[in-house]
Each structure stands twice: as structure tokens, then as C-alpha cells.
Amino acid sequence: MKRVIYYVSENYNKYELKIYNSKATNLHFGTFNFNNNQIYLNNINPSDDQFDNLWFDLGISTEKNKICIMVLNIDNLFENYEYYYNTLCDFINNNKIIKGIDIDIENKATLSDTIKFITDFKRDNPKLLLIMSVIGYSMCVKDIHTKYENETNWSYSLFNRLKAENCIDYYNCSFDEDDFTMDSFKNMIKNGFNESKLVMGCKSSTFDGYDNYFELNKIKKIYNMGGTFIKYFHTAPYKWDISAWLSVNSN
């Protein structure tokens, strides 16, 4: 598998999987957001000692994994764009273990603001990965939809046609169990997206043990897919621990 991505969000602590021993190729952690002229990790100062275990494990992981931070709600940056944008870039440049950012676009972010941010970031940080986390269904349809809350008010099909996707290294496409299918992957390609940039995944509680793994294997036998991910969100995959999932999908 080209990429096997493991998300570490709000629940990382000393009892969880030591990520530097995992089979992940990429580690995404956060979320980071901006408020009151500050940058926050899960609404807390990133230097707070409760994150000591996280930073230690991430530091050990850098030799074998690409470490990326997840940035939530980039629309907040546009409340004071120059300051927040420079704060983000300075934070990354001062933390050499960080190799990229994963941006989560929601409904308040306009298409023009989104394109401005990604073009600015890629221009100023050409060696860093720029990843976009999206609802997978949105990549499969051509028009704006309201199937999910917090979805963008513009279509990813239009985003692709404007060539903005040239700045994106890969997309993390999150699917519900029923949508995690070969047909969904085909529809994203029909919508103009490069198969090698398409990473399919679910929250950890969605993977049910067997069906999604079989579907994933069918897709990767036919397509040069970008990879797969799991987001550890409150519960581990049913009947599977994280290390088992990563080991299976690293092949």
C-alpha cells in the first residue's frame, strides 16, 4: 500500500499504541486551530506538558514516518489571515519533525479563501506535504449536496476543474461503511481526480473487521490508489486492534 495513515486526535495517552512501533507510513495528529491570536492543539497550548508523551513518540517516529498536523477550520485564519498564516508557518518551521499539514475544510470556508490558502502554503512551503481531508461522498458527486453537516458550500468537482488540486499531494477521503466501495472509488476518478492521490478510510469504529478489508483489496488490485487511513476516534476497530489493522494494510 502506497500510504497507510494513522490519525492521532484527542485521545492520545501513554496507554495507547506506541506509534513509532506501528506499520504506518504517515502519522497525522491534532487538531490544530486558531483563536485569540494563538495556535492551539485540541484547544490547548501545544507546549503544555500533557502533550509530552505525544511529542516524544512523534520525535522517535520521524525516521520511518511522515508526521503531519491536522488544521481544523481554516476559515478562522481569515479573521486575521496574515498573522495566523505566518504563525502557522513559523510553528511548522520551528518543529522540524512536521513534514506537512492536513486541512479539514468545512462549510464556512469559501472556495476563494480555500484556494488562496493552499496556493500560498504550497508556494511558501514547497517541500511540505499539503493534504486535504474531505467527506468521501463529496468527491464522488459533481454538484453541491447537503447529505452531511458542515459540508462545503462549493463542489470538489469545481475545485478540481480550477486546477487547485495541483497543490494537493493527496486527499484523505472519509467514508461511511456503506459508501466504502469500489463504485465510490470509480466515481471519484470519473470526477477527474487522480487515483494516486485518493486515500480511502474511515473512523476506527466503522471498520467492522472483514468487509471493508475485502473491498479495499479489490480496489488496490485494479487501481494505483493513494492509500488508506484509519482515524482512532474513541473506539478501536471491532475485533481488531490498531497495530493489526496497520499491519494488514501495509501490504
pLDDT of residue 248: 45
Kind plus residue range of the DSSP H or E element containing 121: helix 111-124
Residue pLDDT, tens place only, 161-207:
787 778 999 999 988 767 888 999 999 999 889 999 999 987 655 55
CA 178-108-121 angle, 5° bins: 95
Do 95 and 134 touch, CB atoms closer than 8 A? no
- List phi, psi (to 5°) of 249: -90, 0
3-state SS class at 183 = helix
Retrieve residue 171's grid coordinates.
Answer: 486527499
> How much is the average pLDDT of 217-230?
88
> How much is the average pLDDT of 36-44?
89
- List phi, psi (to 5°) of 28: -110, 130
pLDDT of residue 144: 63
Count of beta carbons in the 10 Å neighbourhood of residue 110: 14
Q: How far apart are CA 68 and CA 59, in angstroms?
A: 12
How would residue 234 be classed by pLDDT, with cut points 50, 70 and 90? Answer: very low
pLDDT of residue 73: 79
Query: Which CATH number covers residue 88?
Result: 3.20.20.80
- Count of domains observed in the chain: 1
pLDDT for residue 114 is more than 70: yes
Q: Which range of residues forms the domain containing residue 17? A: 4-249
Please, what's the b/e burial string for 69-95 (b: 16 or more CB within 10 A of its CB; e: otherwise)?
bbbbbbbbbbeeeeebbebbbeebeee
Q: How far apart are CA 7 and CA 204, in angstroms?
A: 10
pLDDT of residue 247: 46
